[in-house]
Amino acid sequence: MAKVVAVTGNEACANALRQVNPDVCGVYPITPQTDMMQKYASYVSNGKVDTEIILVESEHSSMSACIGAAAAGGRVVTATSSQGLALMWEMLHIASGDRLPIIMPVVNRALSAPLNIHGDHSDAMGARDTGWVQLWSENAQDAYDNTIQAFRIGEHMDIRLPVMVCLDGFIISHSIERMEYLEDEEVKGFVGEYKNFLPLLDLDKPKSYGPLILPDLFHEYKKAQHEVMLKVKDVVLKVAADFEKLSGRKYGLFESYRLDDADIALVILNSAAGTTTDIVDGFRARGIKAGLLKPRLFRPFPYDEVAEALGKVKAVCVMDRSDSFGGYGPVFMEISSALYPLQERPVLINRIYGLGGRDYLPEHGEAVLNELDEIAKGGKVEKYKEYIGVRE
């Protein structure tokens, strides 16, 4: 039986982790993730979980300890944001290279400098090439559901990869929303017992983790990593199907909203997608065929499916809440790659919004859709990449 609650995104993730009851959790504070791990520490102090927490002295050590713990053999979690994720960067590659299914909510926040504690996607986008599976979440419900599904995805015996669950700092992490919790037993049953694969703690069969691999084999090793990533999509869909049976909530590789017959569309990640559905409805009411695509699985990226979903649209704007300075936004680059193989493809533009917690307002999305409407009618593209919501 689902339980309706009013909680923050951080509380929702902490509760998902409690229900999964991992063996080890690395804990280090960083805004806006801090109260997720605080909440988790209180579960430990009050005997609500069997977890041993490691109160590390940095995020680098947190991920290092998580890697050690996961290699030892057991279920491992941590959480971070921003600078913390940046400090982990070296170890993120090692977690995925060693094929260790560590689960980590990432509460998205801007990267310094200048210092800013508010939400944007620079942190997780900067980690997109680290070999982690990335699931992105619009709201607290998504973050909770994705966190639970992440265990099944990462721990799948064909996958064995770490998974990041991304949610927007403050906008989701600190806002109280109505959402539904599954029962503890349901979550326990859904994720199942942790299955070990080559644990260090199997003392009878000693293993060496983390060898030096020179040019004779390194290339093949990395190719194998890519090939494992290609299997993730099917597992994500299978896990989503099982999760739908349990929760009634449907998840895919991405979410299409009024996209089937759309002439114009926005692609937008996470919390801003919620605002955008209202904007799309407003345009539809005015007879303009607008639509929305909200990516969920960003790594591996579902190129074929996205091309199928957006191929018939006349003009698309990819909205990025982070930037690759001097290049296009990271989501734009993926959508662009997805659409390029098509014979006929939409006109594609890129708008950067909401950096460092700058509000994304309905008029911002409306202005972009109006621009797309003009482009779809044969109008000229003034600028392919532009910042919106900028103070004059």
Partner 1 sequence: MATGLTLKELSKKEELLTHGHRMCAGCGAPIAVKMVLLATDYPVIAANATGCLEVSTCISEYTAWKIPWIHTAFENAAATISGVETMFRSLKKQGKIDGNVKFMAFGGDGGTYDIGLQSLSGAMERGHDMLYVCYDNGAYMNTGIQRSSATPMGADTTTCPAGSIIPGKPQKRKNLTKIMAAHNIPFSAQASPSHWTDLMKKVKKAHEIKGPKFLNIIAPCNRGWRSKTNDAIMLSRLAVNTCYWPLYEIEDGVTKITYTPKEKKPLVDFMKPQGRFKHLFAPENAELMKILQEQVDSDWEKLKRESECG
Residues in the site for partner 1, rule: CB under 8 A? Answer: 23-24, 26, 50-52, 54-58, 60-62, 64-74, 76, 90-91, 94, 98, 200-203, 206-214, 216-217
Q: Are 352 and 386 in contact (CB under 8 A)?
A: yes
Pick the closer one to partner 1 by CB: 113 or 212: 212
According to DSSP, the residues that pair with 168 across neighbouring strands are 108
Q: Are 152 and 195 in contact (CB under 8 A)?
A: no
Q: What are phi and psi of 293, to 5 degrees?
A: -120, 125
Q: How far is the CB of 76 from partner 1 (least distance, A)?
A: 8
Pick the closer one to partner 1 by CB: 204 or 260: 204
Q: How far is the CB of 216 from partner 1 (least distance, A)?
A: 7
Pick the closer one to partner 1 by CB: 57 or 185: 57
Residues present in the chain in total: 392
Pick the closer one to partner 1 by CB: 51 or 146: 51
Q: How far is the CB of 51 from partner 1 (least distance, A)?
A: 7
Name, in order, each residue with C-beta under 8 angstroms of 330's C-beta and a sequence gap of 6 or more. Answer: 121, 125, 128, 320, 322, 324
* Antiparallel, parallel or unpaired: β 290-295 and 254-257: antiparallel
Pick the closer one to partner 1 by CB: 49 or 269: 49
Q: How far apart are CA 357 and CA 191, in angstroms?
A: 34
Q: How far is the CB of 134 from partner 1 (least distance, A)?
A: 22
Pick the closer one to partner 1 by CB: 17 or 347: 17
Residue 121 class from Cβ within 10 Å (0-12 exposed, 13-18 middle, 19+ buried)?
A: buried
Taken in order 378, 381, 384, 387, the sign of the CA dihedral is negative
* Antiparallel, parallel or unpaired: β 290-295 and 177-181: unpaired
Sequence letter at residue 266:
L
- Of the candidates 89, 37, 99, the residue with the CA atom closest to the CA atom of residue 64: 89
Edge-to-edge strand order for the sheet containing 264-267? Answer: 254-257, 290-295, 264-267, 315-320, 347-352, 385-387
Pick the closer one to partner 1 by CB: 210 or 362: 210
Q: Are 350 and 317 in contact (CB under 8 A)?
A: yes
Q: How far is the CB of 213 from partner 1 (least distance, A)?
A: 5
Q: What are phi and psi of 180, to 5 degrees?
A: -120, 130
Q: Which residue reads 């942790």 in tokens?
A: 194
Q: How far is the CB of 1 from partner 1 (least distance, A)?
A: 28
| Cis-peptide, bond into residue 69, ω within 30° of zero | no
Pick the closer one to partner 1 by CB: 207 or 238: 207
Pick the closer one to partner 1 by CB: 91 or 240: 91
Q: How far apart are CA 386 and CA 384, in angstroms?
A: 7
- Tokens coding 118: 């508010």
Q: How far is the CB of 14 from partner 1 (least distance, A)?
A: 18
Q: How far is the CB of 131 from partner 1 (least distance, A)?
A: 14
